[in-house]
Amino acid sequence: MTAKELLTAYAAGERDFKGADLGGVDLYGADLSAADLNGADLSGANLRGANLFGANLRGANLSGANLSMANFIRADLHRADLRSADLSDANFNHANLNHANLNGADLYHANLNGADLIGAKFNGTKF
Band the pLDDT of 22: cuts 50, 70, 90. Answer: very high
The predicted-structure confidence for 85-123, as pLDDT tens digits, reads as follows 999 999 999 999 999 999 999 999 999 999 999 999 999
CB atoms within 10 A of CB 124: 11
How confident is the model at residue 89, as a pLDDT?
Answer: 98
The predicted-structure confidence for 26-84, as pLDDT tens digits, reads as follows 999 999 999 999 999 999 999 999 999 999 999 999 999 999 999 999 999 999 999 99
Which CATH number belongs to the domain containing residue 15 in this structure? 2.160.20.80
Give me the half-sphere count of Cα atoms (radius 13 Å) on the Cβ side of residue 83: 8
How confident is the model at residue 90, as a pLDDT?
Answer: 98
| Burial of 97 from C-beta contacts in 10 A (0-12 / 13-18 / 19+) | buried
How confident is the model at residue 45, as a pLDDT?
Answer: 98
Number of structural domains found in the chain: 1
pTM above 0.85, yes or no: yes
